[in-house]
């Protein structure tokens, strides 16, 4: 498989100039050579650059770096669309989950429908009014379903970017207002109760009815914080083994058009052990038989 890797540095967490670069952390952990060793052709496109984060709340919306979010989404959309047009598999390394607006905008620009498999410890379904921080990563899932300021909900000229029925959410422990939507949710408790294979099969059956490609979004804070140090830990997360099972089952559908990995924090991973396990997980999943 030909994989093109792009880093998206916006993580909405650090204070300038000390913004982390999670994508570079995954590179240092050996992701690229590991993928190459498994037979993939890997092109590293570097990182989106030229963005200066100021952590200032937009007076009109209350969202941090709102205009920057729009600019990054537009730039990321252009880059992701180009990868897809070249017939490569996009592997986007964040950064935080706010990158989903740019990713899904790429499909809108191609006039292509897409579904979303969303694996995360948090539902990210706040509005600007309910978000405790105003971070874009608190609310991107509500934004892509058409809730929020017009400047970001209409960034690609398609509204909404995704229909609620084209999203399945897995692994959350923090619901973040998503219960007010009609999105299908398998939280951590439901996954444990019913088994990973059962909920993946059910969710995929729901999404594949329309025959559309799927985007796989993986926020590493779905993993238990005793195993994966993250900025906003929620106890009771998945083990690495459970995460591997989930991702492998989703990958085996043969419907995944691209993947994003969010919220790995190299600054919190002092000995690099979590990053090492993470890149092994990603490479193993993408190398398993679809």
pLDDT of 150 higher than 90: yes
pLDDT digits (tens, 9 = 90+) for 49-72: 877 777 789 999 999 999 989 999
Residues belonging to the chain: 290
**Is the sign of the CA dihedral 143, 204, 43, 229 positive or negative?**
positive
Buried residues in 141-177 as b, exposed as e (16+ CB within 10 A): bbbbbbbbbeebbebbebebbbeeebbbbbbbbbebb
pLDDT of 12 higher than 90: no
Is residue 22 within 8 Å of 264, Cβ to Cβ? yes
pLDDT of residue 17: 41
The whole-angstrom separation of Cα 290 and Cα 273 is 28
Confidence of residue 13 (pLDDT cuts 50, 70, 90): very low
pTM for the model stands at 0.96
Least confident segment among 7-11, 25-29, 219-223: 7-11
pLDDT of residue 10: 63
The partner residues of 214 in beta bridges, in order of sequence, read: 115, 256
pLDDT digits (tens, 9 = 90+) for 209-237: 888 999 999 999 999 999 999 988 999 99
Q: Which H/E stretch holds residue 261?
A: strand 256-262
pLDDT of residue 22: 87
Mean pLDDT (the chain, rounded):
93
pLDDT digits (tens, 9 = 90+) for 165-199: 999 999 999 999 999 999 999 999 999 999 999 99
């Amino acid at each position: 498989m030909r994989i093109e890797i792009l880093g998206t540095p916006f993580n909405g967490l650090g204070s300038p100039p000390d913004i982390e670069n999670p994508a570079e952390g995954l590179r240092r952990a050996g992701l690229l050579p590991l993928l190459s060793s498994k037979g993939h052709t890997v092109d590293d496109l570097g990182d989106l650059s030229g963005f200066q984060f100021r952590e200032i709340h937009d007076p009109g919306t209350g969202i941090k770096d709102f205009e920057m979010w729009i600019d990054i989404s537009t730039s990321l959309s252009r880059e992701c669309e180009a990868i897809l047009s070249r017939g490569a598999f996009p592997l986007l390394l964040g950064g935080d989950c706010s990158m989903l607006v740019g990713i899904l905008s790429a499909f809108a620009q191609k006039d292509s429908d897409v579904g979303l498999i969303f694996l995360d410890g948090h539902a990210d379904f706040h509005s600007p009014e309910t978000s405790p921080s105003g971070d874009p990563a608190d609310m991107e899932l509500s934004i892509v379903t058409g809730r929020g300021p017009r400047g970001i909900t209409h960034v690609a000229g398609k509204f909404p970017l995704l229909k609620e029925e084209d999203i399945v959410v897995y692994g959350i422990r923090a619901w973040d207002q998503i219960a007010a939507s009609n999105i299908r949710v398998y939280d951590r408790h439901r996954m444990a109760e019913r088994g990973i294979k059962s909920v993946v099969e059910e969710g995929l059956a729901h999404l594949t009815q329309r025959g559309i490609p799927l985007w796989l979004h993986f926020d590493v804070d779905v993993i238990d914080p005793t195993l994966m140090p993250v900025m906003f830990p929620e106890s009771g997360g998945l083990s690495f083994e459970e995460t591997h099972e989930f991702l492998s089952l989703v990958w085996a559908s043969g419907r995944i058009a691209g993947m994003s990995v969010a919220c790995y924090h190299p600054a919190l991973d002092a000995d690099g052990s979590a990053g090492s396990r993470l890149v092994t997980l990603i490479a193993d999943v993408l190398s398993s038989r679809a």
